[in-house]
Amino acid sequence: MAKYSLIFKLKVVTAYLNGEGGYEYLTKKYGVKTTSQVRRWISAFKEFGKDGLCRKRNNTRYTSEFKLAVVESYLTSELSYRQIALQYGLNNPSLIARWKSDFMKYGTNAFVERPKGRIPTMSRTDEKAKITTHTKSRNQKKKKELTPEQARILELEKQLRYAQIENAYLKELRRLRLEDARKMKEQQESLAVSEEKFKLTEILAALRFPKATYMYWQQRFDRVDPDLQIRIAIEDIRKDHPNYGYRRLLPLLRSRGIVINKKRLQRIMQKFNLQVIAFSRKSRKYNSYKGVKGRIAPNRIKRRFYCSQPHQKITTDTTEFKYYELDANGALKVGKLYLDPFMDLYNLEIISFSISPTPSAESILSAQQQAIEKTADAKYRRTFHSDRGWGYQMKAYQHNLKVHNIFQSMSRRGNCLDNSPMENFFAILKQEMYYDNTFHSYDELKMAIENYIMYYNTKRIKEKLNWLSPVDYRLATTAA
């Protein structure tokens, strides 16, 4: 074990008191072997001053009365081994643990002074046997003083006492569970209330709960949660982005100067129940396939969704929504709404869309015309991709593409993966805006979809877009 001089100890303690750093920092800075060593020096200095740091070279002998007083102080108070050691001027707190263990096993006989010096080899066995016999005889005398009936009564009283303690403790726990989980400090107060009726040692013995563990957690009740500030920042971001998970929250927290690992962020969100629960419900998708109604275009995209130029590859599809309203007779009526968006695969931006109460050709052609006009600045020949829905087999739809010299591409039959970017957008849209919400009119649902598409294009960040929104990514890359 390393030995440190008094000057060195004073130097470490002075550094701590001057606020140079905490226990771990000073341990590394001054090369102390353990952090607990620094902690003991500081506690000893606060209790006894400079004398508490002086190393005692002589072997101190403690009387049985002194040991008994130390053990009684520990058992009848809420102080730890280290605090009792500082109170009685002991350098080694483990002595108290050993004395307490001996006291619990042998009672006051554990502190009976033994004859000084080494027992001769030939008579050591006899001496040990004599001491053991003497101890047994004393214990037997004590036991003989009580009749079997008296001993049985004492045992029953002891069991009744433990049952009362357990009942009181369970009542306190039941009360605390009904209160707010943030008020954990009240558990400490509830134990203090219980101590008015029962001693702490009796409560811990009945619950078989180590006193050291009780003292450890009692000191931690006043600790400030280190994750509290991160939780406040997450809740602040969630006001504008209620469906952001830990992946999208990570860059926003770092932009606020909070350096955190994504795994720790995920643990914090699980700890405070901040996970996104919107992405759990599924619904039957609208199917626009009605068989072959016109010309089927080849699959030109072939899942090559990456695009290095804006307005080069465009994909589209149709999806269905439902709303609930009362008719003139007061009966609940289910209405439907259909969305026809066009997406640019360069930055996953919705460049045009149309909303209608029925799946109509006018809605599809209107959104198509807007998309053609917005992508007119493309450097190369454009490609419009879709599934094999009846609307994309129409002659009018295909004629518009041919007039503007645009390639048409179609997914394979019954293969949604060939148009996965648009399917992914529909899933995000419905999970974040539609599911778990009930809409009572066509106009209400239409306005909610329009607002979400605006939010999706301008504010919702994506990891594959370098944590930028689709519009910000397009502006940043085209400007460069």
Q: Is residue 302 part of a domain?
A: no
Strand partners, 320: 338
Residues 41 and 183 in one domain: no
Residues 54 and 158 in one domain: no
Q: Is residue 245 part of a domain?
A: yes
Q: Is residue 221 part of a domain?
A: no
Q: Is residue 89 part of a domain?
A: yes
For the stretch 414-453, what's the b/e string if a residue is b when 16 or more beta carbons lie within 10 angstroms of its beta carbon? eeeebbebbbebbbbbbbbbbeeeebeebeebbebbeebb
Q: Is residue 418 part of a domain?
A: yes
Residues 135 and 157 in one domain: no
Residues 78 and 203 in one domain: no
Q: DSSP class of residue 393?
A: S
Question: Which residue, among 195, 216, 217, has the nearest Cα to 206 in the 3D structure?
Answer: 195
What does each of the 480 residues of the chain score in pLDDT, given as a tens digit? 457 887 888 888 888 888 778 888 888 888 888 888 888 788 777 776 776 777 655 567 788 788 888 887 787 777 778 778 777 877 677 888 888 888 777 776 777 766 655 655 555 555 555 555 555 555 554 445 667 777 777 777 777 777 777 677 666 666 666 665 555 555 555 555 444 567 777 788 877 888 888 888 887 777 778 888 899 999 999 888 888 888 889 999 988 888 899 899 999 998 888 888 766 555 555 666 666 767 899 999 999 999 999 999 999 999 999 999 887 777 888 899 999 999 999 999 999 999 999 999 999 999 999 999 999 999 899 999 999 998 999 999 999 999 999 999 999 988 889 999 999 999 999 999 998 889 999 999 999 999 999 999 999 999 999 999 999 999 999 875
Residues 384 and 407 in one domain: yes
Distance from C-alpha of 185 to C-alpha of 176, rounded to nearest angstrom: 10
Residues 390 and 467 in one domain: yes
Residues 355 and 395 in one domain: yes
Distance from C-alpha of 27 to C-alpha of 36, rounded to nearest angstrom: 9
- Structural domain count, the chain: 4
Q: Is residue 102 within 8 Å of 70, Cβ to Cβ?
A: no
The CATH number given to whatever domain includes residue 336 is 3.30.420.10
How far from each other are the two terminal CA atoms of the chain, in whole angstroms? 64
User: Where in the sequence is the domain holding 449, given as residue range(s)?
Assistant: 313-479
Q: Is residue 128 part of a domain?
A: yes
Residues 366 and 417 in one domain: yes
| Full DSSP string of 121-150 | TTTHHHHHHHHHHHHHHHHHHHHHHS-HHH
Q: Is residue 291 part of a domain?
A: no
Question: Which of 121, 142, 163 is a domain's end point?
Answer: 142
Residue 1, pLDDT score: 46
The DSSP H or E segment spanning 356 is strand 349-356
Residues 127 and 152 in one domain: no
β-pair type (313-316, 319-326): unpaired
Q: DSSP class of residue 430?
A: I
Residues 20 and 34 in one domain: yes
Residues 393 and 254 in one domain: no
Residue 427, pLDDT score: 92
Residues 236 and 378 in one domain: no
Q: Is residue 57 part of a domain?
A: yes
The DSSP H or E segment spanning 408 is strand 407-410
Residue 34, pLDDT score: 84
